Chain A
Amino acid sequence: MAKFNMTPDELLNFQFGAPNVGWMEHKPVFKEGNFAYPGKADVIRDLGFPNPREWSPLDEDWKLPENWMEIVRDGMKDRLDRYRSFKLFMDICVRCGACADKCHFYIGGGDPKNMPVLRAELLRSIYRGEFTTAGKILGKWAGGRPLTMDVVKEWFFYFYQCTECRRCSLFCPYGIDTAEVTMIARELLQLLGININWMMEPVRNCNRMGNHLGIQPHAFKDIVDFLCEDIEAVTGIRINPPMNEKGHEVLFITPSGDVFADPGIYTFMGYLMLFHEIGLDYTLSTYASEGGNFGLFTSHEMMKKLNAKMYAEAERLGSKWILGGECGHMWRVINQYMSTHNGPCPPKMETPVSPITGTVFRNATETKMVHIAEFTADLVRHNKLKFDKRRNSHLNVTFHDSCNPARGMGMFEEPREVIKACCDNFFEMPAQTIREQTFCCAGGSGLNTDEIMEMRMRGGLPRGNALRHVQQKHDVNTMACVCAIDRATLIPLADYWAPGVTICGVHELVANALIMKGEQERTMDLRQNELPYLDESAEEDA
């Protein structure tokens, strides 16, 4: 793997501008570090996806099926007939350029083909050339071009430089959503066996083993036990979370990154402590141990397949409703796709009601799934939680809106209410970089792999710069988020663009401040760092 060692100055040594060659003539050059590695043959074979083989984008020959052109044409036609979004977005763009500088990859890289409009034109030009009369006759004059191998390679290059964050769609006067275009383009590439391993392997794992990381049930239990030991070390309270148990009111599902990776594990410990404290009747599941859904980045059908387990498991365990953890794209799937894909929900499920406050979650009447930020915000509002905010007093916190809960759901206030309830020092980043205008971590949609670190750091510039702004202005030292991919990707991003800022989940902050019945006096936070306020109060006492 090419080591990424550019300085920010080197990275930003470009000027926005148009190359002298027209974009149809301009071809991408693949080199180590600017593409993610392709799906391994055995992974693709296990999934039953087309054309499993060992190949590299650096090869001249990508070993495509002989009739690849026909496959792409048929695939496009099929999707034009099945998705109005796709068909419409191929036709109505006026190239006004409003989206052009809204993409984080364009802002941090200056490559004009990362302007959302041009990214979509990569596909649109083929649509015109192959499917419209004018394009067939007039060719380039009508903005059409023939389907060639170079086009396919270009698609791979640029549709895996889109994190499907939908920021461009917010600014488009017709709501053209590049995420939709990218999803379709990736499906077309899948038909030829062109994909990336970072995305396909988690899909395979999730399918067979219940989660992206491929944690097997006994290992899952071990990890949770281990995390519970850590909780005990910090609080003196022993928690034994139910797992795969039938007859509990709530099934709790969170991304497996929360169980596995630092700092997600502290968020996970936070959930368990919260549930313990309020006495929630819940169970975890090892079979449905993945909230995230890399199927979303693979194909609509794969998304459906992975998502189906949530309802299946709720039905098997007899849960009344499902509580979902902090995860970005998981919530785009749940909010926009779940009931369509796999609904109606199992007959015994009920509209979620908080057993603690009696609040009916009126926005979840169909899917029966509640976001933990919605759940906790309600607890906070009803004063059901006691916080010692001093434990978070050394933290100056800002909040990163993840793209999916932002633009695919609209959850802005709930996590903020929770953070403000347990932290005294909360600061917002500039308005153009948060809420609906938030910037992606540049690692979404399966691009959170290290071999493309240069691209991630480029795409991370807008978020990183906004973070640095509040770091300098308000001494912000902590950025909270509600997304497991963020918790992994924002760490190198912050180290690079705003060194000194720690990344955490919202429920890590909650659990650190939460006063639990019967707990020992807390001297450490969940990361087992000494709590600074104790020193300060000791000094005051002295």
Chain B
Amino acid sequence: MAFFISLILVLTLCAASYYGAEAGMQWLFGMTIPYLAIAGFVCGFAYKIYSWAKSPVPFRIPTTGGQQYSHEWIKHNPLDNPHTVSWTVGRMLLEILTFRSLFRNTEVVIHRTEDGPRVAYNSARWLWLFGLIFHYCFLVIFLRHFRFFLDPVPFFVRALEFTDGIFQIGAPRLYQTDVLILAALAFLLLRRMFDHKVRYISLISDYFPLVLISGIALSGIYMRYLGKTDINAVKIYVMGLFTLSPVSAEGIAPIFFMHLFLVCALLLYFPWSKLMHLGGVFLSPTRNLPNDSRMRMHVNPWNPPKKYHTYEAYEDDFREFMVEAGLPVDKPLDKADA
């Protein structure tokens, strides 16, 4: 259900932009909305980060995933239980670049045997693998698109393009990332639909971005391999946008405006959605703090005043019993009575 709603939403976006552009509203889908979307994305992203950063981190609560820093002769696991800032940076880099926590993933199966239940933990790294593929492909594709914004095309973009098409299949050359990102998107969507656990927890806001990004990928792939859109005209148009001197969109197929519009929808949607995990992952207090608060004081900016039941009050409650039991007291019985 949530999937179909997302699908209909995205198809509506497609139709609106495609027919809108065909009906001569290229200025709207090709200029006004992109400018708004970029502004909206930048402001929204910044606002969201600011709103998180505004809330303090009162306590140092890293999840410790390995041996603590202890005696010299005990092998410390600094990447999973860092005690310094630099090791914490290492932990974060591995987390962000390799999805290390997700790599640990297992799947529980309960075998009901004659001899009683047996709980097994099977390796379940598909999510990690396809998640990683998706994110890296997205990154490469995003960077590849720089050739539309920049003239001359920078060296790293050319290198990326070359590597991405290294198998030299077809003309225009087939990019591996185009195939892989579709495969990854399909995996993520199908997993959401057919894994009972994930299906149960999935909201529209889980399907929508997947369908939207699929739409972006498919329209892009169509333009490159099937529609054979006039790349030069597109580049001139996009460069115009980026230099704030828009040129006429004459001769560019409506599918381009659809592609662009879906990207704009993604940009506008991004800051207000779960996609903000892109920014949030850097701020997660269970990962980005060293486990060192036994070694260094961590200050809570709103630390409430110390209030507790004092020893004096405790002794007042129990003095007689304590004296009788031979426990030392601060105020002897006769003085306390006086």
Contacts and interface: CB of A to CB of B under 8 A. Distances in A.
B199 A18 contact: yes
A218 B291 CA distance: 39
Contacts, number: 319
Interface in A341-370: 341-344, 359, 362-367, 369
A370 B310 CA distance: 24
B318 A468 contact: no
B70 A341 contact: no
Interface string A376-414: 011001000000000000000000000000111111111
Interface residues of B, number: 100
Contacts of B338: none
A374 B71 contact: yes
Greatest chain A CB density within 10 A among B64, B71, B284 is at B64
B272 interface: yes
Interface in A408-425: 408-414, 417
B63 to A, nearest CB: 5
Contacts of A286: 322, 327
Given A173-B99, A177-B61, A340-B59, A334 B294 contact: yes
B274 to A, nearest CB: 5
Interface string A278-303: 00000000110000000000001100
B135 to A, nearest CB: 10
B63 A94 contact: no
A312 B310 contact: yes
A532 B298 CA distance: 51
Contact of A98 (B61, B110, B127, B300): B127
A380 B303 CA distance: 40
B283 interface: yes
B196 interface: yes
Interface string A75-113: 000001111111110011111111011100001000010
Given A208-B317, A221-B327, A339-B298, A308 B293 contact: no
A369 B294 CA distance: 8
Given A81-B55, A218-B324, A115 B291 contact: no
Interface string A448-471: 000000000000011001101100
B303 to A, nearest CB: 7
A286 to B, nearest CB: 7
B169 interface: no
A256 B65 CA distance: 29
A107 B63 contact: no
B327 A100 contact: no
Contacts of B56: 82-84
Interface residues of A, number: 119
A207 interface: yes
Contacts of B299: 340
B306 A337 contact: no
A461 B58 contact: no
Interface in A5-63: 8, 12, 16-19, 23
A236 B310 CA distance: 39
Nearest to A100: B197
Given A244-B327, A341-B303, A121 B201 contact: yes
B144 interface: no
A317 to B, nearest CB: 9
A328 interface: no
B65 A436 contact: yes
A188 interface: no
A181 to B, nearest CB: 12
A172 interface: yes
A369 B74 CA distance: 19
B57 to A, nearest CB: 5
B294 A364 contact: yes
A313 B308 CA distance: 12
A277 interface: no
B70 A413 contact: yes
Nearest to A373: B70
Contact of A409 (B116, B199, B291): B291
Interface stretch (A163-171, A267-275, A484-492): A163-171
A243 interface: yes
Given A12-B117, A142-B205, A218-B321, A336 B314 contact: no
Residue from B5, B73, B202, B277 with most neighbouring chain A CB atoms (10 Å): B277
Nearest to A89: B284
Interface in B119-148: 119, 121, 127, 131
Interface stretch (B100-108, B172-180, B227-235, B252-260): B100-108
B197 A97 contact: yes
A210 interface: yes
Contacts of A262: none
Nearest to A332: B61
Given A16-B196, A340-B58, A340-B60, A305 B308 contact: yes
Nearest to B119: A465
Contacts of A134: 272
A18 B106 contact: no
A301 B295 contact: no
A101 B104 CA distance: 13
B276 A173 contact: no
B69 A287 contact: no
Contacts of A230: none
Interface of A: 8, 12, 16-19, 23, 80-88, 91-98, 100-102, 107, 112, 115, 117-118, 121, 132-134, 141-143, 166, 169-177, 180, 207-210, 216-218, 221-222, 243-246, 286-287, 300-301, 304-306, 308-309, 312-313, 316, 334-344, 359, 362-367, 369, 374, 377-378, 381, 406-414, 417, 430, 432-433, 436-437, 461-462, 465-466, 468-469
Given A143-B203, A411-B68, 12 more contacts: A18-B196, A18-B197, A86-B55, A94-B274, A100-B198, A174-B281, A221-B326, A286-B327, A287-B311, A316-B330, A340-B60, A366-B297
22 contacts: A8-B116, A82-B58, A83-B56, A96-B102, A98-B102, A100-B197, A112-B200, A142-B203, A173-B99, A175-B101, A175-B287, A180-B286, A218-B322, A218-B325, A245-B328, A336-B61, A337-B293, A340-B303, A367-B294, A374-B70, A461-B117, A465-B117
